[in-house]
Amino acid sequence: MKNQRNIVFGTGPLGLWVAQMLLEQDKEVTVVNRSGKVDHEIPARIKVIEGDASNSAKVYEICKGADAVFHCAMPTYTKWPEKFPSLTRGILDGVKRAGCRLIYADNLYGYGDTQGLPLTESLPYNATGHKGKVRASMAQILLSEADVKVVIARASDFYGPLVTNSAFGEMFFKAALTGKPANLLGNVDLPHTYTYIKDFARALVRLSDQDDAFGQVWHVANPPTVTTRQLVSLVEEYLQKPVKIRSAGKRMVSFLGVFNPMLKEMKEMMYEWEQQYIVDHKKYEDRFGNDSTPHEVAIRETVEWYRASLNIR
């Protein structure tokens, strides 16, 4: 499909990897954030511009003439109820006026607590916490907009190069590389689906080129679900040394949340870590196959990125 120009809102790890995947397909790509600057080194062919995504007029100016727009933008985790809906509405209204296709990067919060049952795209939105309700509401608004072609891709908790603020991010890898106890959440011996960040980005780019994928929700393909402890074991095998871990349950997270706003927000999501959390991606795999990165490879690439980023050898 001819795709002359792509706009990516958000320059977090996902937005930057989407831009990289688009570039590898020799597509023109512009990334947008509030500052017009990116913290990481990126290829010169990726254009970076400033723009307030909650301003639909600004979004229109940025997107007019583009073919595909990727919504990978996200406000600070502690500010979702106040800022996320207006940001998404700004993108939606601007894209609608510009006549572009919209690809939205979502997570699984909207389903709420499924009591350990596998997560499928057909589940109802039963979230009771404010972050889950925000995600569910935005997905419903996006898919109900008849005048915009929208596709939604959902991923589980992700990790990988550039990913720092995640349950399996810097608080784990930095400690593991420096020989300190690494902090994790919940019961590490329960199955938990993890998404590799590059796989999420690749799925978004693939969906953007498939007309028949629009108007639907897709769970991106992941490698086989393992326990968090098994992922830690892969890190230990690659580092050739043991990694001491400490895992915080809901009570500890509640206590620490008094002092740490991010942990306070995590309390709402602790059901993910206190029962099995398995994502079903059969719909995506049946349509596109499963070329997800094996955890062994993903762990190696993640460790090497952290080594370089933190200057640790």
pLDDT digits (tens, 9 = 90+) for 95-121: 999 999 999 999 999 999 999 999 999
pLDDT digits (tens, 9 = 90+) for 207-234: 999 999 999 999 999 999 999 999 999 9
Q: Average model confidence (pLDDT) for the chain?
A: 93
- In the predicted model, what is the mean pLDDT of residues 37-58? 95
Q: pLDDT band for 26, please (50, 70, 90 cuts).
A: very high
Whether pLDDT at 253 is above 80 = no
Q: Which residue has the higher pLDDT, 247 or 122?
A: 122
Q: Percentage of the chain with pLDDT > 70? A: 93
Cα separations (Å) of 20 from 9, 25, 35, 42? 14, 9, 20, 8
Whether pLDDT at 260 is above 90 = no
Q: pLDDT band for 279, please (50, 70, 90 cuts).
A: very high
pLDDT of residue 193: 98
pLDDT of residue 259: 58
pLDDT of residue 263: 64
Q: pLDDT band for 78, please (50, 70, 90 cuts).
A: confident
Domain boundaries, the chain: 5-157+195-219, 160-193+224-277+292-310
Q: Which residue has the higher pLDDT, 251 or 168?
A: 168
Q: pLDDT band for 256, please (50, 70, 90 cuts).
A: low
Q: Percentage of the chain with pLDDT > 90? A: 86
Cα separations (Å) of 246 from 43, 58, 188, 193? 38, 46, 10, 20
CATH number for the domain whose boundaries are 160-193+224-277+292-310: 3.90.25.10
| Cα of 163 vs its chain's centroid, Å | 9
pLDDT of residue 252: 65
Contacts of residue 289, Cβ cutoff 8 Å, sequence gap at least 6: 221
pLDDT of residue 257: 53
pLDDT digits (tens, 9 = 90+) for 125-179: 999 999 999 999 999 999 999 999 999 999 999 999 999 999 899 999 999 999 9
Whether pLDDT at 269 is above 60 = yes
Lowest-pLDDT range, 138-142, 179-183, 260-264? 260-264
Q: pLDDT band for 18, please (50, 70, 90 cuts).
A: very high
Instruction: Supply the pTM of this predicted model.
Output: 0.95
Q: Which residue has the higher pLDDT, 253 or 42?
A: 42
CATH number for the domain whose boundaries are 5-157+195-219: 3.40.50.720
Q: Which two tokens stand for residue 159?
A: 């990790």
pLDDT of residue 273: 92
pLDDT of residue 89: 98
- In the predicted model, what is the mean pLDDT of residues 179-198? 95
- In the predicted model, what is the mean pLDDT of residues 176-201? 95
Q: Which residue has the higher pLDDT, 189 or 247?
A: 189
